[in-house]
Amino acid sequence: MITNTKAITVSSYLSMFFLGVATSLVGAAARNIGLSPFQIGMLVTIQNIGFMVSVLLSGALADTREKPKILFVGSLILAVSFLTFYSGDAYWINLIIMLFIGVGIGTYEGVTDAMLLDIHTERAGLHININHLFVTLGSALITVYLIFLEVNWRKSIVQAGVMVLLLAIFFALTKLKTRQRQPEGFSGKIRILTRKRIVVILFLMTILTVGVELGTIGILTTYLMELRQFTQFTSKIGLIVFFAGVASGRLIIGVLTRQDRIARYLLALLACATLFFTVLYFLDLDGFNYLSIFLAGLTISAMLPLIITLAGSLFKDLAGTVIGAIKVAIPLGGILIPFATSLTARYTNLQSSLLIFPFAFLLGLGLFASVLGEINSLSRSTAEAAGD
């Protein structure tokens, strides 16, 4: 059996890499497959449904079951889904396969961060930041691989399926000690968490953070071309700079973050993001526009990983359940904030719609500040209990 924690940590990173591949698969391969906008929308929707159900259930199971065994099942589902996706032309069959792709990646989201919290009690923030950095790398690589290199997309997905199958074998052979958790059933644990104001606030913050990040990815090139006179080429460079800021931030902030100061870092990042996203979308800095794009990416980069780390640290006996519950907010954020932006743009204008982004961080700052005292109190109680 495999018990080496370094190998298990690397396997977690690789899982999140393929999560990134899966989430960008439809967008990257849509033109090659010949999908219509309606079909793309349906595939993404059904993937998110599978993701939301899976992340919640797998997170709850991670509190009482062996995490590698849950990841084995998720990897097997994802591998088979990759290997069969559009092997035939029947759209409804591929719609079902996309549902299972969502289930597979939802398992990765629901379990890997909780597993890293178990393995790395002192530097969990760093490892969870790196874990989510690999999502960005996976999304970027599949896009470059399929679009810019113009390689055979089907062959690429089969290769990814084989790699995920190897991950499944690794997890099947892995043994990791599971902490003893509270005996409440799934519904009982969810009831406990929904009564915790901190969990509700972290859930809302996740919606706001993920929504702004995905909204910026979707609108940035359009904004730069329409309101800042960028060209097709330079606007794409701007998007690459934003990704670079996100990647850099997840590494730098992950290294600098101390476990006992996560709440302070989050508060500071929310304040900085409010400022930098206001500068990005409402001030024309000419030659310094790329700098403002980079700083915006830098400040938003570590928010989600730190929210997840904080939630898992505060509720250690229910870490998998609370992380899974909060991660349900990821697809919700990807739907709600971009929808609000597009709706505002339709009835006002593009510039006015961009107010939603800094306002989202300002709202998140207020919400988080309202529970900061409770977080500090719970953190002290958790530390004292660990000391005993």
* Domains along the chain with CATH numbers: 5-178 (1.20.1250.20), 189-383 (1.20.1250.20)
Instruction: State the chain's mean pLDDT as an integer.
Output: 87
- If you average pLDDT over residues 134-161, what whole number do you get? 78
pLDDT cut 90: percent of the chain above it:
51
Torsion, Cα 173 127 243 284, to 10 degrees, reads 160
Rg (CA), the chain: 20
Distance CA 365, CA 349 (A): 26
Considering only CA atoms, which of 307, 288, 282 is closest in space to residue 208?
A: 307
Spatial contact of 303 and 269, defined as CB atoms under 8 Å apart? yes
- If you average pLDDT over residues 17-28, what whole number do you get? 83
Question: Mapping DSSP to helix (H, G, I), strand (E, B) and coil, where does residue 174 land?
Answer: strand
Letter for the amino acid at 151?
A: V
206-217: per-residue pLDDT in tens?
Answer: 999 999 998 998
Residue 287 pLDDT = 79
- If you average pLDDT over residues 315-340, what whole number do you get? 87
Distance CA 1, CA 170 (A): 9
| Residue appearing with tokens 């510039």 | 351
DSSP state of 180: P
Spatial contact of 129 and 254, defined as CB atoms under 8 Å apart? yes
Q: Is the pLDDT of residue 320 over 90?
A: no
Q: Is the pLDDT of residue 149 over 70?
A: no
Rounded to two decimals, what is the model's pTM?
0.84
Q: Is the pLDDT of residue 388 over 70?
A: no
Among the residue ranges 7-11, 68-72, 175-179, the one predicted with the least confidence is 175-179
Among the residue ranges 127-136, 145-154, 239-248, the one predicted with the least confidence is 145-154
Name 43's Cβ contacts closer than 8 Å, sequence gap at least 6: 26, 35, 94, 95, 98
Distance CA 242, CA 303 (A): 15
- If you average pLDDT over residues 1-15, what whole number do you get? 91
**Token representation of residue 97:** 């396969």
Reported as a pLDDT band with limits 50, 70 and 90, residue 23 is confident
**Token representation of residue 280:** 């990005």
Q: CA angle at residue 333 from 369 to 267, to 5 degrees?
A: 20
Name 242's Cβ contacts closer than 8 Å, sequence gap at least 6: 216, 217, 220, 293, 294, 296, 297
Distance CA 214, CA 204 (A): 16
Considering only CA atoms, which of 61, 81, 85 is closest in space to residue 71?
A: 61
167-223: per-residue pLDDT in tens?
Answer: 999 999 998 875 555 545 656 566 666 668 899 999 999 999 999 998 998 889 889
DSSP state of 2: B
Q: Is the pLDDT of residue 387 over 60?
A: no
Letter for the amino acid at 78?
A: L
